[in-house]
Amino acid sequence: MLTKRIIPCLDVKDGQTVKGINFENIKTVGDAVELGAYYAAQGADELVFLDITATNEKRKTMTALVKRVAAHINIPFCVGGGVSSVEDVGALLHAGADKISINTAAVKNPKLIDELAAAFGSQCVVLAIDTNYIAQAWWVYLNGGRVQTSLHTLAWAKEAAERGCGEILLTSMLHDGTKNGFAIDLTKSLTDSLPIPVIASGGAGTPQHFAEVFKNANADAALAASVFHYKEIEMQPLKAYLKQEGIKIRG
């Protein structure tokens, strides 16, 4: 039986991991590859590296990071952050990434999803959606949560799935950094109506929150950053707890 996945997310700038609370107040934590290898050894099921380097050299630094990660880490990983073309994705996959997440570029040019799925297969195309709840609706946000769009989150996720994306990485900005739990209703609305897996992100504070998002929202995977980076939650006790709760977990 397919297991639910636990995914630590590493925000990376110039090869170092950083984590912002509500996308602000960035703080350096450690070497990205070293930390990723640590999580893999502890039993993480997958890793996400989000490159927030904002320089002209970005493409080079991202490819270099992917190569280092692929050489050292024996579990699947996804890389994202400003990826905007078929060429970008090709270079990152060639360097050893298993999946690529796209966000702003896909909203600006939805056909990119079709092109990537056709060129590399749906399995490696992850659509990241940053969303916030304003005036009784969930809206898609761009540029790391700074720009609101007129897209409804569920409608956008459905369109992306139809266009061939293989997975949705759903981050609730309302929940991110709060440690009060994942966006259960929102996540459930996506998992109920999409034919592709959904990774829930934003709000993890306790092991119970992971159990809730798997049991009550039927998330396929749950992603978190700070609680792992600051060792507030450790992989092995978390997985032992989830197994005890009757959730199918590896390890």
Partner 1 sequence: MQVVIIKYNAGNVSSVAFALQRIGIEPFLTDQTDEILAADKVIFPGVGEASSTMQHLRQTGLDQTIKQLKQPVLGICLGMQLLCKHSAEGNTTCLDIFDQQVLSFHSQPQPADKTAQQKIPHVGWNDFAKLRNADNILFKGLQLTDYVYFVHSFFVELGTYTTATTDYILPFSAALQKDNFYAAQFHPEKSGAVGQKILQNFIELT
Question: Where in the sequence numbering do the catalytic residues fall?
Answer: 11, 130
Alpha-carbon torsion, ordered 42, 238, 99, 193, to 10 deg: 170
85 binds partner 1 (CB under 8 A): no
Structure tokens at 152: 């409804």
The site for partner 1, by CB under 8 A, has a size of 36
Site string for partner 1, 163-182 (x = CB under 8 A): ---xx---------------
192 binds partner 1 (CB under 8 A): yes
Angle between helices 111-120 and 86-95 (to 10 degrees): 40
Which window, 14-22, 143-151, 177-185, 188-196, contacts partner 1 (CB under 8 A)? Answer: 188-196
Nearest to 21 by CA among 153, 179, 139: 179
Burial 207-232 (b: 16+ CB within 10 A, else e): bebbbbbbeebbbbbbbbbbbbbeee
Asked whether 31 and 17 are in contact (CB, 8 A), the reply is yes
34 binds partner 1 (CB under 8 A): no
Comparing CB distances to partner 1, the nearer of 71 and 134 is 71
Please identify which residue in 15, 96, 110, 145 interacts with partner 1, judged by CB under 8 A. 96
Q: How many CA atoms lie within 13 A of 234 on its CB side?
A: 6
Site string for partner 1, 35-64 (x = CB under 8 A): -----x----x-------------------
Q: What angle do CA 230, 216, 221 make, to 5 degrees?
A: 50
Q: Burial, 162: exposed, middle or buried (Cβ in 10 Å; 0-12, 13-18, 19+)?
A: middle
Give min distance, CB of 250 to partner 1, in A.
4
Give min distance, CB of 91 to partner 1, in A.
12
Residues between 125 and 164 that touch partner 1 (CB under 8 A): none
87 binds partner 1 (CB under 8 A): no
Which residues contact partner 1 (rule: CB under 8 A)?
Answer: 1-3, 5, 40, 45, 67, 70-71, 74-76, 93-96, 98, 120-124, 166-167, 191-197, 218, 220-221, 250-251
